[in-house]
Structure 1
């Protein structure tokens, strides 16, 4: 969707409207304007022409417009911008995502489409931007830098530095996406540094991703040219990143929740900070909200409303070089949200380019991205090496911890996890987990295992795992719960095995059935699909499972399938 305010041509009409020489298109009268740049909230009328703000001022300005909206003292803020999000993690297409977040005041997102790129390669990024243009939401993108995330993963694509450079030239791409392979950065890996050089040559932002990295290693990582990081989990980590010159992206998603822990840092009003959701599922979007939910938390925690609003408007706009976005001010895109108050952030109306925001159309999926678990899947067994440590799972973080070998099994309440290559190569591995509650009475299966997006199965016996694999294959990807060999609940994800074109409410209902079925089998995770989807991400400490085996992220090596005899 091309917005009227995207036009870069003659602004002379905007000047004439601002001077009162002709009428505008829209007048929002009697609003309390939130101005995060000056930390003010003041009453004003706001005049819009050609999709941009022409002027704002008091009633004495006598503004004229073809259409008038009476704000009656409601608060008018810039439209909310999510500076780092994986739309695919919502399980929705961009159009479905827009349908979920436009009523929450979100007008733009910087998508990091490495989920679909890991499955489909460069054409996945091109599809994401095309789908974004027809979604009704402003969708920009960053170019994935780690496809696959590390040498320990195999997905559907392997993106080279040359292909990264090509993505960086695509209109709508604002910079290099999160460089997750920090061991490769610090260790001088030639392929990683070729990608960094491509990012530098493009001249845009370079997002960081350095979970647990501190001290001299953090300084070295920042010195490599990173501009931001969204992996801080403690105030100490957040301050250390700010002192290193990195923009602080405070993440609050479905699998990793850092806002409460980092709120004390935000109360110090750091100049270079923003709120991002990173990964948020459709059920949470509908139940709790998007960036509006984060704003409620910030204000309830003591942050001035204008300072909170800055974290989702002018700050992400400045970081990404979106200089016509992020403020209600003359010349800026008229992307605005009318709010009942600045406590609950209840949205009355969302405007993009000076018109009421409406969701757009779904773009057809690309070919490819199904599920092929190998010719021997029907007879596969999934044994766990007895000497492997147990992966301890946390309900609200994507990091895991190490448990002693043998400390979890089906008798002790542990759950076996299986990861299988879904691109036909036949690789698979299994380990024990604790903290999920799944046990052996049934299996949760998914095709959305970050970032290579292989198939993962939590709990159950071999028969249930195989049955879940068959269900994923028949659906072309998705999420499923199997018990006793029978499907209990499912959500097909035909878009690259990652996304559905169902409306958000229907998708959330189907996902809710999957969650309820998993809980009936003993699962204690608040968002079991989202949490499971991160248990294979090879760049997040400390243990992760890939089709090649169990990875010790801190030691940066796969654990041997048999004990070392020495």
Structure 2
């Protein structure tokens, strides 16, 4: 009403109204504190002597974007990721910190919560709903039911993260069912993971209270889930890109858009630098035929409607938090100006909000609990001269199948065979400090290197080492113990590339720029040496991942995922 004067007025806005699906010219927006007070043709009644007035000069003004499902416990700390997200207009991140919990349990979850506070971006968390992936084989930490109930009392913890595998629900696994019940009793959101589910199984999953999924890879899967009342997060990130398979069919079918969102599911430094974040989803969707205002609604309003936060966020209207983007045009969707809660965070395409470096507890930078290796730790023995090995055959960086190879033993020791593209692969429990480990053989890697090792893997976080010889496997492993985590490439005893991941062995404490450079060197050093895959960093990431076919290696052994049984490395 103007009785109290505004702190900020934006005038001459072309307002992107996600509530009426229109662009409203010559709009003025008055902001008091962190909220919007007035949206209309004339805000001069709210202008006082201390009010800052910005003439937007007929640029486009819209609400901040959101990523409704991603894992920000990857590569860089939340403070570093926040900068990149803000430059792309993403002011809200819905984080599923499954790997931090895998390594650090509830204590790690609390530590990560603190790192997401007091930043110029809103970070909301969920309790990981996927741990352990398979209790028979998994080595990961997880939360107890009482810890989950305690976690959701935090104002920025919204509910349960992606519940996979869905068979835990259809088979009514007791811990999963208790978690679901607890979340429903607290009126919390439950996110889904429905890859491979359909008909009766999908119905059962949805009826348990799970109302979203980011796994559909085509329109038929999207439509089946929408018909069952689900919300769909169309994934366009570093692991999968599904927009082009889904958006054109959504438009030709005339499907309602109000339950569709964009999500990344996680972004690596190269992709966010090259493509962007949710802004990239908007640009690509417009190229595929989506109206700009609809793309903005999917990037903003729909996310907050799903998370029951629409009264505060998702659009520009009185009473809403002032998360506001200003664009030059409706093509780039790369905002030059970003306000979060009425405070200027990005000006002229640069971060202007001060971000303080947070103190990290020493214990979470000391999670690689392994003794120094010798090359003998990678030996596989056999008294037979010729053996048939069961190999993990790499079909892609992610998908594997069981393979077979003839290998020879010398002095009762079986070696890898670089000529035949047969590698050793080992998994060591580095989280709990046990001596648990397994060693097997990997096929179809193709790089002329000595070893490639990582302490970060979905969602087991064993130390994974791929090697053509035991000596370089020793060097790689000891390098990661010394660094307390990371990825490393070794040849002839020399480090070719290294990406330190000091926080829980999965996240770097270095700057985004340094991490991006080191990450690029890791992949390039392997690809340039003849690797058959363009993104080799994904191989150790997924080798222990029990939610995908067909053969995985963990510190407890080599696993046939479908049969849920262990496989011997040699017959």
Pairing 1:343–2:336 present: no
Aligned residue number for residue 372 of structure 1? 369
Cα offset for 1:459? 4.3
Instruction: Rate the CA distance shift 1:518–1:314 in 2: closer, same or farther, 3 A.
Output: same
Aligned residue number for residue 358 of structure 2? 363
Give runs of aligned pairs for residues 180-259 of structure 1, distance below 5 A.
Answer: 180-259=164-243
Pairing 1:26–2:28 present: no
Aligned residue number for residue 413 of structure 2? none
Cα offset for 1:442? 2.7
Q: 8 Å contact 1:552–1:559 — kept in the other structure?
A: yes
Please, which of 469, 489, 492 is the counterpart of residue 500 of structure 2?
492
Cα offset for 1:132? 1.0
In structure 2, what is the Cα distance between the partners aligned to 1:461 and 1:188?
45
Aligned residue number for residue 61 of structure 2? 76
Q: 8 Å contact 1:48–1:54 — kept in the other structure?
A: yes
Please, which of 65, 81, 94 is the counterpart of residue 97 of structure 1?
81
The range that moved more, 534-543 or 492-501, is 534-543
Give 5+ residue unaligned stretches, structure 2.
346-352, 382-386, 407-415
**Any idea what the Cα deviations from partners look like across 1:84-135, whole Å, max 9, x if unmatched?**
111112x111111112211111111111111111111112222222111133
Instruction: Rate the CA distance shift 1:273–1:471 in 2: closer, same or farther, 3 A.
Output: same
Aligned residue number for residue 539 of structure 1? 547
Q: 8 Å contact 1:477–1:496 — kept in the other structure?
A: yes
Instruction: Rate the CA distance shift 1:88–1:265 in 2: closer, same or farther, 3 A.
Output: farther
Give runs of aligned pairs for residues 167-566 of structure 1, distance below 5 A.
Answer: 167-267=151-251, 268-323=255-310, 324-357=312-345, 358=353, 360-366=355-361, 367-368=363-364, 369-373=366-370, 378-381=375-378, 383=380, 386=388, 388=390, 390-394=392-396, 398=398, 400-402=399-401, 404-406=403-405, 410-413=418-421, 416-423=424-431, 424-433=433-442, 436-438=445-447, 441-561=449-569
Superposed structure 1 runs of 4+ greater than 6 Å apart: none
Please, which of 37, 41, 47 is the counterpart of residue 30 of structure 2?
47
Q: 8 Å contact 2:472–2:493 — kept in the other structure?
A: yes
RMSD over aligned Cα atoms: 2.5
Q: 8 Å contact 2:375–2:470 — kept in the other structure?
A: no
Instruction: Rate the CA distance shift 1:81–1:409 in 2: closer, same or farther, 3 A.
Output: farther
The range that moved more, 418-427 or 495-504, is 418-427
**Any idea what the Cα deviations from partners look like across 1:195-215, whole Å, max 9, x if unmatched?**
222222221111111222223
TM-score by length of 2: 0.88
In structure 2, what is the Cα distance between the partners aligned to 1:38 and 1:556?
52
Please, which of 55, 72, 81 is the counterpart of residue 87 of structure 1?
72
Q: 8 Å contact 1:269–1:307 — kept in the other structure?
A: no
User: Size of the alignment, in residue pairs?
Assistant: 540
Instruction: Rate the CA distance shift 1:166–1:298 in 2: closer, same or farther, 3 A.
Output: same
Match of 1:311, SS state, is: helix
Pairing 1:145–2:153 present: no
Q: 8 Å contact 2:285–2:295 — kept in the other structure?
A: yes
Higher relative contact order (CA 8 A, sep 6+): 1
TM-score by length of 1: 0.89
**Any idea what the Cα deviations from partners look like across 1:170-222, whole Å, max 9, x if unmatched?**
22110111111322222222222222222222211111112222232222222
In structure 2, what is the Cα distance between the partners aligned to 1:373 and 1:393?
31
In structure 1, what is the Cα distance between the partners aligned to 2:338 and 2:15?
14
Match of 1:317, SS state, is: helix
Instruction: Rate the CA distance shift 1:105–1:168 in 2: closer, same or farther, 3 A.
Output: same
Instruction: Rate the CA distance shift 1:382–1:257 in 2: closer, same or farther, 3 A.
Output: farther
In structure 2, what is the Cα distance between the partners aligned to 1:123 and 1:414?
40
In structure 1, what is the Cα distance between the partners aligned to 2:224 and 2:444?
31
Please, which of 43, 47, 55 is the counterpart of residue 64 of structure 1?
47
Whichever of the two has the greater Rg, that structure is 2
In structure 1, what is the Cα distance between the partners aligned to 2:521 and 2:225?
40
Give 5+ residue unaligned stretches, structure 1.
1-18
In structure 1, what is the Cα distance between the partners aligned to 2:256 and 2:450?
48
In structure 2, what is the Cα distance between the partners aligned to 1:279 and 1:386?
39
Instruction: Rate the CA distance shift 1:500–1:539 in 2: closer, same or farther, 3 A.
Output: same
Match of 2:76, SS state, is: coil
**Any idea what the Cα deviations from partners look like across 1:135-194, whole Å, max 9, x if unmatched?**
321111111123332214444523222222222222211011111132222222222222
In structure 2, what is the Cα distance between the partners aligned to 1:152 and 1:270?
40
